[in-house]
C-alpha cells in the first residue's frame, strides 16, 4: 500500500473539509467540526431588549410588541424633505422625516455588478433597506418617525473641508436637535444629539440608535466563495460577536446585553457601518426583527432626569465605509475585527502587515502579491526542498513500486511488507513529501483569507487586462495559466501506482481551474506565481537527484 499517497489524500480531504467548515461558520452557519469550540460565551442577560424595551419605534412607527402583528412599509406614511450632503467620499441623503440617513453612496468605490456606478451602502428605494435611525423613548418624544425641520446652511464642503446638517424637532415638551457632521476625506460621520427640556416637569428620556438592514446578501456575491453579511457587536468583556439574521429571526441570537464600551455594526464584504458611542457610556445592546426580512442592531442610552429648562447632549460616531485596517483600528477598539480572517487571524494579520509594507515601496497591489508570494516561498524553501527531494526519490522507485503491486496484487499484506522493505532499502520516508506541506497549509489558508478580505484589492489594477484584483480575470488568462502550471506540477510528481489515483491527479488541474475562473484575480495571481516557483524548485531538485543517482 502506498502510505504516502494515502496520507496525502487524507490531508487534502481534511483541508478541504476544514475550509468548507470555516466557510460555513464565516457565513453565520453552525460548524460541522468541533461545534462547541467556536461558540461565543453566552451572556447572563437576555440579549433582545427590543422585546423588553417595546417602546422603541419600529420602521413603520409601531412598537416591538406590535411589529409582528402587521407589516408596515419601511418608508412609513410621513413625508419629509430629502437633503443631500456631498463630500469628496460621500453622497448622503438624509430625510427630515425622522432625520434618517436613508442613502449613502461611496464616491470612491465602484459597484461590483455595474462598475459604472458607485457602491451604495445605505438605501431604501431599490428593493433594499439599509438605514441609520435615532430618536428618543420614554415618552412622546421626537423619534425617527417625527418630522424634523432642517436649518439652512451649506450642503457641500466648505473651505475648511467641513459640512454640517442641523435638524430640529420638538414633541412632548422635549426638543431634539440632531447634527450630522462630515469632513473631507473622512468616512466618519459625527452624529450629535442635543436634548432640551422645554416643558414644566422633569423628563427621563433614553436615546436609541440603530442600524436597520434587510437580511439579503449584497448583489454580486460569488457562488464559489462567500463572506459574512450581518450584524456584529463588540464589548471589552464579550469581545467580537457576529450575529446572524437567521437567529435574530428565530429570537435565539445571544450576545452582550449591557456595557459601557464597544460598538454595534452591520458588516458585509469589504464594507462596514458601525455606531460608536463615547467611552464609559452605559448602554443596552439589542438585536431584533422589526418586519419581514428586516432587522435592527443598536444601543439604548439612558439620559437620566432632565429638569425643565435644562439640556444634555451625547456624541456618536458613525463609521460607514471600507474595511481599511488602520482606519478601523483608530476608530474604536476591536473594530478592525470586522475584517474577519477567521480562525487563523494570528497568522493572517502579520501577513497583511507585511503586504502593506511591500505596497508602500511598490505602490501596486498586483506586484505586492507577487513579491509577497516570493518571500513566503523563500521562507519555506528548506521545507519545500525536503518535500521535493522526497518526491524525487519516490519518482525514481515508482517502477519498483508498480512491480510490487503487480506481483502481490492478490495479497495486500505481503504487498505492504514488500513496500516497507523497499522504503527501508532505498532510505525513503513515505511521509517525507507530506509533512513539510502540512506545515505550510495554515500560512497558505491565511494568505487566502487576507487576499479575499482586503478591500485594498478592490478596484486595484495590476497590469494590462487586470483592472480590479478583487474581480475575476475578464479574459480568464490567469485561470488558464494556473491550470497549465498545475498540469506541469502533476507531471513532475511521482505517478501514483494506482491507475485510478493517476487519473484523478490528472483531472485535478481541470477541476481547480474551473473554480478559479470565478475567483478574484488577486487570488489566482498568487496561486499562479506560487505554482511557477514550485515548478522551478521541484524541477531543479529532481534533476539534481537524478544526476546523483546516475553518478
pLDDT in tens, 406-454: 888 788 888 888 888 887 777 776 655 565 567 677 887 888 888 888 9
Nearest of 284, 286, 274, 281 to residue 312 by alpha carbon: 281
45 and 17 together in one domain: no
Ramachandran area for residue 480 (φ above 0: left; ψ -120 to 50: alpha; else beta): alpha
- Whether residue 372 lies inside any domain: the answer is yes
Nearest of 316, 278, 284 to residue 300 by alpha carbon: 284
332 and 402 together in one domain: no
pLDDT in tens, 74-100: 344 567 899 999 999 999 999 999 999
76 and 11 together in one domain: no
- Please state the domain count of the chain: 2
pLDDT in tens, 24-39: 444 444 444 433 333 3
Confidence (pLDDT) at 499: 66
Confidence (pLDDT) at 258: 96
- Whether residue 344 lies inside any domain: the answer is no
Q: What confidence tier does 510 reach under pLDDT thresholds 50, 70, 90? A: confident
DSSP output for 254-287: ----EESS-EEEEEETTEEEEEEPPTT--EEEEE
200 and 100 together in one domain: yes
503 and 522 together in one domain: yes
- Whether residue 35 lies inside any domain: the answer is no
Residue ranges making up the domain that contains 446: 3-23+349-550
pLDDT at 244 over 50: yes
421 and 311 together in one domain: no
Q: What is the CATH number of the domain that holds 147?
A: 2.70.98.90
pLDDT at 49 over 70: no
94 and 239 together in one domain: yes
Q: What confidence tier does 5 reach under pLDDT thresholds 50, 70, 90? A: very low
pLDDT in tens, 189-204: 999 999 999 999 999 9
pLDDT in tens, 340-356: 887 788 899 999 999 99
16 and 76 together in one domain: no
273 and 414 together in one domain: no
Q: What confidence tier does 281 reach under pLDDT thresholds 50, 70, 90? A: very high
Round the average pLDDT of the chain to a whole number and report it. 82
Interhelix angle 381-396/521-550, rounded to 10 degrees, is 50
Cell of 227: 463572506
Decide which of 424 and 139 is more confident.
Answer: 139
pLDDT at 9 over 50: no
Domain final residue pick, 297, 314, 339: 339
Amino acid at each position: 500500500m502506498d502510505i504516502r499517497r494515502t496520507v496525502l489524500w487524507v490531508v487534502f480531504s481534511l483541508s478541504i473539509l476544514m475550509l468548507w467548515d470555516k466557510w460555513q461558520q464565516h457565513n453565520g452557519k453552525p460548524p460541522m467540526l468541533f461545534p462547541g469550540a467556536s461558540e461565543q460565551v453566552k451572556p447572563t442577560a437576555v440579549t433582545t431588549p427590543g422585546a423588553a424595551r417595546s417602546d422603541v419605534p419600529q420602521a413603520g412607527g409601531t412598537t416591538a410588541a406590535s411589529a409582528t402583528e402587521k407589516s408596515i412599509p419601511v418608508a412609513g406614511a410621513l413625508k419629509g424633505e430629502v437633503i443631500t450632503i456631498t463630500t469628496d467620499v460621500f453622497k448622503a441623503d438624509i430625510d427630515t422625516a425622522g432625520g434618517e440617513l436613508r442613502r449613502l453612496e461611496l464616491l470612491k468605490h465602484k459597484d461590483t455588478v455595474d462598475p459604472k456606478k458607485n457602491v451604495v451602502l445605505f438605501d431604501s428605494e431599490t428593493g433594499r433597506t439599509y438605514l441609520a435611525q435615532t430618536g428618543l423613548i420614554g415618552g412622546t418624544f421626537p423619534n425617527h418617525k417625527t418630522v424634523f425641520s432642517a436649518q439652512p446652511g451649506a450642503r457641500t464642503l466648505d473651505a475648511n473641508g467641513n459640512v454640517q446638517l442641523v435638524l430640529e424637532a420638538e414633541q412632548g415638551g422635549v426638543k431634539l436637535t440632531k447634527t450630522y457632521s462630515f469632513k473631507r476625506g473622512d468616512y466618519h460621520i459625527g452624529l450629535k444629539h442635543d436634548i432640551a427640556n422645554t416643558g414644566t416637569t422633569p423628563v427621563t428620556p433614553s436615546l436609541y440608535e440603530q442600524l436597520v438592514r434587510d437580511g439579503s446578501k449584497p448583489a454580486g456575491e460569488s457562488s464559489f466563495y462567500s463572506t459574512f453579511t450581518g450584524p456584529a457587536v463588540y464589548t471589552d468583556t464579550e469581545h467580537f460577536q457576529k450575529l446572524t439574521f437567521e437567529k435574530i429571526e428565530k429570537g435565539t441570537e445571544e450576545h452582550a446585553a449591557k456595557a459601557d464600551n464597544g460598538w454595534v455594526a452591520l458588516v458585509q464584504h469589504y464594507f462596514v457601518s458601525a455606531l460608536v458611542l463615547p467611552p464609559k457610556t452605559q448602554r443596552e445592546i439589542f438585536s431584533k426583527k422589526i418586519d419581514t426580512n428586516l432587522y435592527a442592531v443598536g444601543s439604548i442610552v439612558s439620559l437620566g432626569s432632565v429638569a425643565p429648562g435644562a439640556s444634555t447632549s451625547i456624541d456618536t460616531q458613525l463609521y460607514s465605509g471600507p474595511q481599511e485596517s488602520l482606519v478601523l483600528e483608530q476608530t474604536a477598539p476591536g473594530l478592525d475585527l470586522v475584517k474577519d480572517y477567521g480562525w487563523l487571524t494570528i497568522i493572517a494579520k502579520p501577513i497583511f502587515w507585511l503586504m502593506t509594507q511591500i505596497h508602500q515601496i511598490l505602490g501596486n497591489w498586483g506586484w505586492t502579491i507577487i513579491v509577497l508570494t516570493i518571500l513566503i516561498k523563500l521562507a519555506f524553501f528548506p521545507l519545500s526542498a525536503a518535500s521535493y527531494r522526497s518526491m524525487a526519490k519516490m519518482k525514481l522507485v515508482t517502477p519498483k513500486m508498480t512491480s510490487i503491486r503487480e506481483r502481490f496484487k492478490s495479497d495486500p499484506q505481503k504487498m505492504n511488507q514488500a513496500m516497507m522493505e523497499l522504503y527501508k532499502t532505498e532510505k525513503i520516508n513515505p511521509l517525507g513529501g507530506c509533512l513539510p506541506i502540512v506545515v505550510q497549509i495554515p500560512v497558505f489558508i491565511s494568505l487566502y483569507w487576507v487576499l479575499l478580505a482586503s478591500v485594498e484589492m478592490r478596484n486595484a489594477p495590476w497590469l494590462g487586462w487586470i483592472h480590479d484584483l478583487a474581480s475575476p480575470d475578464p479574459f480568464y488568462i490567469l485561470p488558464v495559466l494556473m491550470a497549465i502550471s498545475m498540469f506541469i506540477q502533476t507531471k513532475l510528481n511521482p505517478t501514483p501506482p494506482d491507475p485510478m489515483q493517476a487519473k484523478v491527479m490528472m483531472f485535478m488541474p481541470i477541476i481547480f481551474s474551473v473554480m478559479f475562473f470565478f475567483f478574484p484575480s488577486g487570488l489566482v495571481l498568487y496561486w499562479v506565481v506560487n505554482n511557477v516557483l514550485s515548478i522551478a524548485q521541484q524541477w531543479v531538485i529532481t534533476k539534481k537527484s537524478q544526476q546523483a543517482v546516475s553518478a
